[in-house]
A = this chain, B = another copy of it.
Amino acid sequence: MNIFPLIAIGTSTTNLKGEILDVRYQLIRSKSGLTSCSTNPSPLYDKDSSYEMLLELYDTLKDLDDSQIEEHIRNQETTQEKINLNEGSTHSERIKFVIHKIEKDDAVNDVKDAYLKLHCISQRLTEPNSINLEGIFNALPNVAWTNHGPMDPADVEVLREDYDYLFIRSLDKFPCLTDYVIPSGVRIADASRVRLGAYLSEGTTVMHEGFVNFNAGTLGPAMIEGRISAGVVVGKNSDLGGGCSTMGTLSGGNDVKISVGEDCLLGANSGLGIPLGDRCIVEAGLYLTGGSKVEVLDQSSNLIVTVRASELSLKPDLLFIRNSLSGTIQCKPNKKSVVLNDQLHSND
């Protein structure tokens, strides 16, 4: 489903020069009807505002500068309002109002584009690999994510003086998912391990050793104790064991997009370099790269053929092991089914 054009309203944090570091979008409205609303902090719109109403607001504000926008907001105000315009150095004093439109799915051009597309994925408005994220690394500034909010790394020593104690949680272009979006029905044991732009479905648990990059995630309930690289999606009811690896396309990987099917198990400390079919198991400790030669066995363990692992891409019901006596990587029909522990996966 095409989510563009869309308009979104939010607030950004600025550095001491007034440049935008991040954007928190509170309301996203697509012309096609998709919507997402986390809070309702502004007199300018409410959660029922239609795309057309936001378009009108956008057209009113788009050519105004910050102080004119501020005046416009003040004129609308019926309640006490928290939005300020760089009047001090605390986090809430470095906040700016943002309204942003993306007309069509072009490459990412600036911070506003980048955060809006990342929000759309994490708000589950669109799945990983469905929108154009080209240029996102260049569009995002490197930010010091501190306990007192996002800061320009160059500002940290100046702003440190304003606080009793300041520390940096992360020094990175991408923020944590939960700094911006709290997906329903999800557990994330260590919030620093999931980036904004991750897509986590209801019933997903990301344990302490789990990791989910942007433009990646789970399409249904899942237990994630391993690493989901950028571009990788995991089917429903699959289990990624502790410390397991999925090859990404950003670094190290090749051009093949890795994925995990439904009802799969990647064992602890295993690794995956092919798109895996449904109901497959990769044994704990086995790293299956696309180029690995694999003996394919039948139910009675007779050798049928030897192939590269990449030729087994997306084939269902396979069990991959390394024979512990011969050291050979082998593939057999998978007779066990993976069942997620229901109690573990109830995330109420």
Contact yes or no, A171 B192, CB < 8 A: no
This protein's copies in its complex: 3
B-contact bits for A139-177, CB 8 A (1 contact / 0 none): 001101001110001001100110011011111111010
Contact yes or no, B227 A242, CB < 8 A: yes
CB-defined contacts of A323 to chain B, threshold 8 Å: 327
Contact yes or no, A346 B182, CB < 8 A: no
- The CA-CA distance from A252 to B339 in the complex, in Å, is 9
Contact yes or no, A245 B245, CB < 8 A: no
Question: Chain B: which residue is nearest A90 at the CB level?
Answer: B164
The yes or no answer to A107 lying at the interface (CB within 8 A) is no
The yes or no answer to A202 lying at the interface (CB within 8 A) is no
Contact yes or no, B294 A268, CB < 8 A: no
Known: A241-B252, A268-B245, A268-B252. A283 touches B289 (CB 8 A): yes
Number of chain A residues whose Cβ lies closer than 8 Å to a Cβ of chain B? 91
Contact yes or no, A251 B344, CB < 8 A: yes
- Secondary structure at the A interface, as helix, strand, loop or mixed, is loop
A110 nearest CB across to chain B (Å): 14
Question: Chain B: which residue is nearest A327 at the CB level?
Answer: B327
| A178 CB contact (under 8 Å) in B171, B189, B265 | B171
Known: A137-B343, A223-B251. A192 touches B178 (CB 8 A): no
A residues lining the B interface (CB < 8 Å): 38-39, 41, 82, 90-92, 137-138, 141-142, 144, 147-149, 153, 156-157, 160-161, 164-165, 167-174, 176, 178-179, 182, 184, 186-193, 208-209, 211, 223, 225, 227, 229, 239, 241-243, 245, 247, 250-252, 265, 267-269, 271, 273, 283-287, 289, 292-295, 306, 322-329, 340-341, 343-344, 346-348
Could you list 15 examples of A-B contacts with CB < 8 Å? A171-B178, A174-B189, A190-B193, A209-B211, A227-B242, A229-B242, A243-B269, A247-B268, A251-B340, A251-B341, A271-B285, A285-B287, A286-B287, A292-B324, A326-B327
Q: What 13 new A-B contacts, CB under 8 Å, besides A169-B191, A268-B287?
A: A147-B147, A148-B165, A149-B164, A167-B169, A170-B189, A170-B190, A174-B189, A225-B251, A251-B344, A252-B265, A269-B269, A324-B329, A327-B328
